[in-house]
Amino acid sequence: MTDEHLDSMLDGHAWPEMPEGVSARLRARIARERARTPRRWFALAAMLLLGLGVGVVGGLAVGRAETPSGLDPSLIAHPEAPARTKRLFFDTPVFASRTHTRESVSTDWGTLRTSQGVEP
Which lies closer to another protein via its Cβ, residue 16 or residue 93? Answer: 16
Judge contact between 90 and 102, C-beta under 8 A.
yes
**DSSP letter string over 52-84?**
HHHHHHHHHHHHHHHHHHHS-HHHHSSTTS-HH
Interface contacts to another protein, rule CB under 8 A: 1, 3, 6-7, 9-11, 13-19, 22-23, 25-27, 29-35, 37, 40
Rounded Cα distance, 97 and 86, in Å: 11
CB of 94 to another protein, least distance (A): 41
CB of 45 to another protein, least distance (A): 16
CB of 100 to another protein, least distance (A): 55
